[in-house]
Structure 1
Amino acid sequence: MNKIIISALAITLTACGGGGSGSAPAPTPNNDGGNGEIRTPAFSTDHLKTINADYAHNRSIEGAGVTLAVFDSGVNVNHDEFAGKTLNPNSGSYVSAISAHTLDEIEDMGLSGLDLYQPVATGDQEDVFGHGTHVTSMAWGENVGVAPEADVIMMDVYATTSPDSLAVKGLISDLATMDVDFINASLTGVDYFENSEFTNERPLYEALDTADMGFVVASGNFGLDMTETFITNPVNCGELSDVERQDNLTCTFTFDATSVDLLAKDADLADNFLWVGAVDNNGLPAEFMLADGTEAGTNVPGSDADIQARWISAPGSAVDGAFFNTDTDYLAVSGTSQAAPLVTGAAALVKGQFPTLSNTAVLQILLDTADSSFSAYDPAIHGQGILDIEAALNIDPTNYEAL
């Protein structure tokens, strides 16, 4: 018998998922953007049908020889979804230097600037929160995942129930030494870099370009128009009252974006970057219910052409994935956190099929072959369209940049 639970994945981050199954009883909302429902032992693979993943699996194209790095809360590799699999030995748990040390220790060590972002290893990866197991199963799972034969590095950046985005930024250059092809980040705060009088984070991202790594990031779950939030930024949150700020999603979940630059707008880094929005199995924007009863949903690219150009959509509505707290159960979750690893897994399939192509070319293939043929398609909502694995695997590789 199915039972509804308040999801163990609860977290108030814009790129983290939540949600309930469309076939379930009335959902109980939680504060990660939706609900969770344990399924024992059955699971649905409708999300794989939506993106034509069977085309690859029927041809034994499963991502072998491709290395993925996942920034998340760890993964329960004992779950049946990962039977027989072993994580890449570079996996581990990390925090940023500013999180690892006290202010007195930081002063004694003379740390400042970008030194504060440098990763500090804290031990083996372990998922005690749940988000990472579900996300990883979307990319690496044997039954519900896209690329079950890929090599996966789990970078556990959850010291508590929230990720350390500074550690993520600090670890990017380290991944360049591990032969990583694609990185999945189903978390917030890593799709831009601060460029202000206080700090310039751009150097932390330069390894994406120099090492030809693809960076796939979940776009967020609060129904924000990213053009408005990051480009036009019309709301001056500082002039609003406390009540008005709390009532304005742009102020509540983001900040004054005038001091940051988007990876999607950077001339040299945009080719290495994809933003992923979430849709349901009918291609409509996924909708979520926040803990306070607020109706929200997947963020959208908005009218900015540069953002649309680096945006792809994928299923993120009541997607079944591995439940971290047992080795057999599945959890239905909604969010862009679930959509992003489907795209990352698809990149592994294309790279495995066309290993001589650059990783930036692979990302471009996913964009070029995304499905935009349906009647509801809108670039301000779907970006370049919905992920289509069959179309991506049927391109002419000579039209794209080789290594």
Structure 2
Amino acid sequence: MVRHDRRTFLRLTGTALGAATLGAGTAAGATGENSRFLIDLREVSRSAIPSDVEIIHDISQIDLLAARGDASSVGDAAATTPDIRVYQHDTGPAVERSGPSTNGKSRSHNHDKGIDNSEYQWDKRVQNVGDLTDKPGGGKFIHDTTKGAGTRVAVVDTGVYDAHPDLAGVVNDELSENFTTDSYDWRPNGAGDHGTHVAGTIAAMNSNRGPDGGVLGTAPETEIVAHRVFSGVEGEGASTGDTVAAIAAAADKGCDAANFSVGYINSNPEKYPGLLEIKAIYARLMDYVRSKGMVFVNSAGNGSLDMDAENTLSLPTEVEGVFGVAATGPIGCGWGGKHSDNEAKWLTGNRLEDPTDSPAFYTNYGSAVDVSAAGGDADLDALDRIPEAQRDLVYSTTVTYTYEDGPDDDEDEPVNRPGEIVDREASYGWKAGTSMAAPQVTGAVALVRSLRPDASVEEVESLIQETASSAPGGETYHGAGHLDLKRLVKRA
């Protein structure tokens, strides 16, 4: 394994990992007679809004409307703000690799049979979530105490593929909803498998009966409400109005937590003062959802940024009331040594170059981080040469699309691909990012609420923080510490 400063590597090669800058093109129609914008009902009465202004979302819970039309026709400048586009935190996972379909065949190796899908889940094995080793039996697991029954969490993302065998029966299809302006339902429609991967980390049931089995989530008995805010339709994307509406609705539907692996890229309030207005909107939103008893879990971002630096604003992570999660991961899990084919030994002894709780090379850091959790890491040099190096990423449920012009088998293919989707296939894949760390905490909220259904938002957050473990890098990268499910469930 090549030892190098991966954080420096990211700063030098950010464009290779999808880094971008918030610019004029990221507002969802910032100007013009058919622009998207937000209306503050504290500044203008509803009756004063012209009839030719289309109301896309009524978010009156926080005195807000998402609209389309001519913003200049609605009150004075204080009454409206552009409906800025949002992104899967820093344009998606820092690193990702596709994996097998749900009916993939086992591969033989020198220890037992082929490696089961759940045996790639170092994030669940190191937390002792369930019996995921290749030698079952023995020990006490988190799921011996609780699997999250009686709870509900929202995944505000690209949609969730509920036909995946490990997610069948997990998603509440009556409460799930599409918050974009496209004509499809709440399931993925071409904007990627990000939401499906997140949902598996939270609640996968390990119910695939194929030869390689399935994967297991932190809280497999919780209920998922899928709120889709990303569209695969060209030009649609996702906007602030869509996401704010989806989060407020999740609170209204009685969700114990909302998982939001979404943010604004390299935000600079000095260059884009409108971001301060967006921050104020999220502050109002946090007051509302917390009053409804919902914990709002947000990924800290993948830009390797110090969020405390001058002229840096990481939204919504830095908003008061947001529970911000940084990412950690191992280097060397199941590769680079003589025991690479013995999954029972991947995490034991000195076989890891970096431990599972070490800061990931891409994670944002700073005082807005409340805790860290497993998001996956990568030796980028090895990842290009050694297939097994992807095992340091987080493994979960995914979905593979087939379009009119063929399968979507190009990792560099843009999200907004033209053409109709003609087929979807359940699959598995590796991703690394703070987007993969946030659902670890969302699943933890479900475990706590299953044991303490009347616990307040503040009590749930305090339990997670007070039971977190110390980790390399200290408070700067981990906030109160690294998520520790054993200590958390014992305390709860």
3-state secondary structure, aligned to 1:356: coil
Q: 1:367 to 1:88 in 2, by over 3 A?
A: farther
In the TM superposition, what is the alpha-carbon distance from 1:262 to its structure 2 partner?
6.1
Residue number in structure 2 paired with 1:24: none
Asked if 1:204 is matched to 2:264, the reply is no
Cα distance per residue 1:93-143 (max 9 Å; x no partner):
113xxxx4xxxxxxxxxxxxxxxxxxxx85421213211111111101113
Residue number in structure 2 paired with 1:286: 360
Residue number in structure 2 paired with 1:299: 364
In the TM superposition, what is the alpha-carbon distance from 1:264 to its structure 2 partner?
4.6
TM-score normalised by structure 2 residue count: 0.56
Residue number in structure 1 paired with 2:240: 165
Q: Within 1, Cα distance between the matches of 2:473 and 2:481?
A: 7
* Aligned partner (choices 145, 155, 176) of residue 91 of structure 1: 176
3-state secondary structure, aligned to 2:308: helix
Q: Within 2, Cα distance between the matches of 1:366 and 1:340?
A: 13
Compare the two structures and name the one with the higher helix fraction.
1
Q: Within 2, Cα distance between the matches of 1:183 and 1:198?
A: 19
3-state secondary structure, aligned to 1:361: helix
Q: 1:315 to 1:371 in 2, by over 3 A?
A: farther
Asked if 1:36 is matched to 2:97, the reply is yes
In the TM superposition, what is the alpha-carbon distance from 1:332 to its structure 2 partner?
1.0
Residue number in structure 2 paired with 1:351: 449
* Aligned partner (choices 124, 131, 156) of residue 71 of structure 1: 156
Q: 1:158 to 1:389 in 2, by over 3 A?
A: same
Asked if 1:369 is matched to 2:482, the reply is no
Asked if 1:390 is matched to 2:486, the reply is yes
3-state secondary structure, aligned to 2:218: coil
Check the 8 A contact 1:321/1:331 in 2, yes or no.
Answer: yes
Q: Within 1, Cα distance between the matches of 2:316 and 2:96?
A: 30
In the TM superposition, what is the alpha-carbon distance from 1:172 to its structure 2 partner?
2.8
In the TM superposition, what is the alpha-carbon distance from 1:206 to its structure 2 partner?
2.6
User: What stretches of structure 1 of length at least 5 have no aligned partner?
Assistant: 1-8, 19-31, 101-120, 234-255, 288-296, 398-403
Asked if 1:216 is matched to 2:294, the reply is no
In the TM superposition, what is the alpha-carbon distance from 1:394 to its structure 2 partner?
1.2
Residue number in structure 1 paired with 2:372: 312
Check the 8 A contact 1:139/1:342 in 2, yes or no.
Answer: yes
In the TM superposition, what is the alpha-carbon distance from 1:57 to its structure 2 partner?
4.3
Residue number in structure 1 paired with 2:146: 61
Answer with 129-138 or 323-332: which moved more.
323-332
Cα distance per residue 1:171-217 (max 9 Å; x no partner):
33322321111000011139x99675799413333312321210000
Q: Within 2, Cα distance between the matches of 1:11 and 1:156?
A: 23
Q: 1:179 to 1:200 in 2, by over 3 A?
A: same
User: What stretches of structure 2 of length at least 5 have no aligned partner?
Assistant: 1-16, 21-86, 105-115, 131-139, 206-214, 331-354, 378-392, 401-423
Check the 8 A contact 2:371/2:468 in 1, yes or no.
Answer: no
Q: Within 1, Cα distance between the matches of 2:428 and 2:231?
A: 24
Residue number in structure 1 paired with 2:475: 379
Give RMSD over aligned pairs. Answer: 3.1
In the TM superposition, what is the alpha-carbon distance from 1:377 to its structure 2 partner?
4.1
Alignment length (residue pairs): 303
Residue number in structure 1 paired with 2:193: 130
In the TM superposition, what is the alpha-carbon distance from 1:361 to its structure 2 partner?
1.1
Check the 8 A contact 2:170/2:223 in 1, yes or no.
Answer: no
Check the 8 A contact 1:314/1:343 in 2, yes or no.
Answer: no
Residue number in structure 1 paired with 2:128: 52
* Aligned partner (choices 228, 237, 240) of residue 156 of structure 1: 228
Q: Within 2, Cα distance between the matches of 1:314 and 1:198?
A: 29
Check the 8 A contact 2:359/2:473 in 1, yes or no.
Answer: no
Q: Within 1, Cα distance between the matches of 2:468 and 2:174?
A: 34
Higher relative contact order (CA closer than 8 Å, sequence separation 6+): 1
Check the 8 A contact 1:16/1:337 in 2, yes or no.
Answer: no
In the TM superposition, what is the alpha-carbon distance from 1:265 to its structure 2 partner?
5.6
Asked if 1:81 is matched to 2:166, the reply is yes
Asked if 1:338 is matched to 2:410, the reply is no
Q: 1:197 to 1:38 in 2, by over 3 A?
A: closer
Q: 1:196 to 1:225 in 2, by over 3 A?
A: closer
* Aligned partner (choices 299, 307, 325) of residue 276 of structure 1: 325
In the TM superposition, what is the alpha-carbon distance from 1:39 to its structure 2 partner?
3.5
In the TM superposition, what is the alpha-carbon distance from 1:360 to its structure 2 partner?
2.7
Residue number in structure 1 paired with 2:264: 189
Q: 1:363 to 1:196 in 2, by over 3 A?
A: closer
- Spell out the pairing of 1:214-253 with structure 2 (5 A cutoff): 214-228=295-309, 232-233=310-311
Check the 8 A contact 1:56/1:62 in 2, yes or no.
Answer: no
Check the 8 A contact 2:94/2:433 in 1, yes or no.
Answer: yes
Check the 8 A contact 1:73/1:163 in 2, yes or no.
Answer: no
Q: 1:37 to 1:204 in 2, by over 3 A?
A: same
In the TM superposition, what is the alpha-carbon distance from 1:62 to its structure 2 partner?
0.8
Task: Please tell me whether Structure 1 or Structure 2 has the larger radius of gyration of its CA atoms.
Answer: 2
Cα distance per residue 1:27-62 (max 9 Å; x no partner):
xxxxx5223131354421211123332355441511
